[in-house]
C-alpha cells in the first residue's frame, strides 16, 4: 500500500489511541511488522502545545518512518497551522481526526461530530492539504448515526481535496464502541474513491483481517484495541495475508521478553516515575486472561519503582510454561 511517496512495508496500520499509541508502543508494533503507526491525536489549539503531554506526543526522535501525526480540531486555519507545525517537527504524513466519538471531543464539534457538516469537512481538508507538502490522510467513521451514514460522500470530498488515503471505522459516531462494526459502508467508500482505503473496527485476528479485506476491497487494515497487550498481532496478520499460514503464538518466555522490552521503552521515554504509572495498563493488557492475573495486577499496581515493577513482571511472565498453558480455560 502506498500513501503519497511512501510505500508501506505492510498493509497493517496501528490505530491512533489516546493514552496508548505513544512512541514506545508505536515502535514496538512497527517491530512486529506494522507498516504504519499513527500518533495519538494532537489538538490544533496552539495554547495546548506547551504541555508535557503534547510535547511527548510530538516527540518522534528515532521513530521509524513514515511518521504519521494525527491532528484534531474544528477550525480550518488552526488545523492548517497545526499541520505545518507538525511537518516542521518531522511529520511525514498528517492525519486529520474525524473519527473520535468521545463526548468531550464531540461537544466542541470536533472528531466524528464534523461528519454532520460536509461543507466544513471540505474547507478543513482543503486548508490542511494546501498547508503542507506531505501527504494528508483522513480518519473517519461511517457517519453521524445509523440514519446518516454519509461515509461515501465524505470520502469523495476528501479525494477531491487531495487527501492521499482514508481510514474508515465501521461504526457511526452515535455507536461509540458498542455493537458490531459494519463493513458495508467501508465497501461503499472503497467503490466511491480511487485513493487507498483502510478498514478499521473489530479486526482482532488474522482471519478477520483477511475476511474484512476480501469483503470491502480495502487496501489495508487498521488495528486498535485488539493489539493492546498483543503487538505481535501485526505479525500474525501480515504472515496470514502473505502466505495463508498461521504464525505460531508466542510462548510465555517470548512474551516475557516483549513485555520487559516494552517496560524499558516506557521507563526510558517517560522517566521512572511517570513511566511506572503508564506501564501499569500495558502490563494488565499483556497479563489479562492468564492464571493468577488478579493477584498479580494488585501487586504490580503497588510497585512504585521501575526496578520493582520490572522484577514483578519478570517473575510472573517467566514461569516455565507456555503462554497457552497459563491461559485461563
Grid coordinates representing 135 are 501527504
**Structure pTM?**
0.92
Are 218 and 192 within 8 A, CB to CB?
A: no
> Is pLDDT above 90 for 219?
yes
Mean predicted confidence (pLDDT) in 271-276: 95
Residue 100 bears catalytic tag: yes
What contacts 37, CB < 8 A, 6 or more positions away?
13, 14, 21, 25, 26, 27, 29, 30, 68
How far apart CA 326 and CA 53 sit, in angstroms, is 36
How far apart CA 200 and CA 207 sit, in angstroms, is 14
What contacts 177, CB < 8 A, 6 or more positions away?
101, 171, 225
How far apart CA 45 and CA 26 sit, in angstroms, is 24
Nearest to 60 by CA among 29, 39, 44: 39
Per residue in 110-160, pLDDT tens?
566 788 899 999 999 999 999 999 999 999 999 887 778 899 999 999 999
The more confidently predicted of residues 202 and 54 is: 202
Are 139 and 96 within 8 A, CB to CB?
A: yes
- Topology of domain 2-243 in CATH is TIM Barrel (3.20.20)
Are 38 and 15 within 8 A, CB to CB?
A: yes
How far apart CA 87 and CA 93 sit, in angstroms, is 8
How far apart CA 216 and CA 81 sit, in angstroms, is 35
Q: What percent of the chain has pLDDT over 70?
A: 93
How far apart CA 166 and CA 120 sit, in angstroms, is 17
Are 23 and 269 within 8 A, CB to CB?
A: yes
Per residue in 314-323, pLDDT tens?
999 986 554 5
How does residue 328 score in pLDDT terms, banded at 50, 70 and 90?
A: very low
From 29, 100, 106, 175, the catalytic residue: 100
- pLDDT of res. 92: 97
How does residue 7 score in pLDDT terms, banded at 50, 70 and 90?
A: very high
Among 8-12, 78-82, 114-118, 258-262, the range scoring the smallest mean pLDDT is: 114-118
**Percentage helix, strand, coil for the chain under 3-state DSSP, each rounded to 5:** 50, 15, 40
- pLDDT of res. 110: 58
Residues counted in the chain: 329
Per residue in 24-69, pLDDT tens?
999 999 999 999 999 998 888 877 777 787 778 878 888 899 999 9
Per residue in 235-247, pLDDT tens?
999 999 999 999 9
Amino acid at each position: 500500500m502506498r500513501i503519497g511517496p511512501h510505500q508501506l512495508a505492510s498493509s497493517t496500520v496501528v490505530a491512533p489511541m489516546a493514552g496508548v499509541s505513544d512512541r514506545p508502543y508505536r515502535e514496538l508494533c512497527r517491530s512486529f511488522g506494522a507498516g504504519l503507526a499513527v500518533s495519538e491525536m494532537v489538538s490544533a489549539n496552539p495554547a495546548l502545545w506547551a504541555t508535557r503531554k503534547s510535547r511527548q506526543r510530538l516527540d518522534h526522535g528515532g521513530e521509524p518512518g513514515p511518521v504519521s501525526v494525527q491532528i484534531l480540531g474544528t477550525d480550518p486555519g488552526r488545523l492548517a497551522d497545526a499541520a505545518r507545525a507538525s511537518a516542521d517537527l518531522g511529520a511525514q504524513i498528517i492525519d486529520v481526526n474525524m473519527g473520535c466519538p468521545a463526548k468531550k471531543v464531540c461537544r466542541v464539534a470536533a472528531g466524528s461530530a464534523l461528519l454532520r457538516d460536509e461543507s466544513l469537512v471540505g474547507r478543513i481538508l482543503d486548508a490542511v492539504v494546501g498547508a503542507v507538502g506531505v501527504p494528508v490522510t483522513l480518519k473517519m467513521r461511517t457517519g453521524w448515526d445509523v440514519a446518516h451514514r454519509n461515509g461515501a460522500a465524505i470520502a469523495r470530498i476528501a479525494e477531491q481535496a487531495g487527501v492521499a488515503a482514508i481510514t474508515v471505522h465501521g461504526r457511526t459516531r452515535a455507536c461509540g464502541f458498542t455493537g458490531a462494526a459494519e463493513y458495508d459502508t467501508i465497501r461503499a467508500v472503497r467503490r466511491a474513491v480511487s485513493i487507498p482505503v483502510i478498514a478499521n473496527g473489530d479486526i482482532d485476528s488474522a482471519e478477520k483481517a483477511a475476511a474484512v479485506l476480501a469483503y470491502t476491497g480495502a487496501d489495508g487494515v487498521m488495528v486498535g484495541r485488539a493489539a493492546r497487550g498483543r503487538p505481535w498481532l501485526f505479525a500474525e496478520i501480515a504472515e496470514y495475508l502473505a502466505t495463508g499460514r498461521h504464525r505460531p503464538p508466542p510462548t510465555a518466555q517470548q512474551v516475557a521478553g516483549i513485555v520487559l522490552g516494552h517496560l524499558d521503552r516506557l521507563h526510558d521515554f517517560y522517566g521512572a516515575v511517570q513511566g511506572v504509572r503508564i506501564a501499569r495498563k500495558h502490563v494488565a493488557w499483556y497479563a489479562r486472561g492468564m492464571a493468577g492475573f488478579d493477584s498479580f495486577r494488585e501487586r504490580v499496581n503497588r510497585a512504585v519503582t521501575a526496578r520493582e515493577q520490572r522484577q514483578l513482571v519478570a517473575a510472573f511472565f517467566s514461569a516455565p510454561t507456555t503462554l497457552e498453558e497459563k491461559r485461563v480455560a
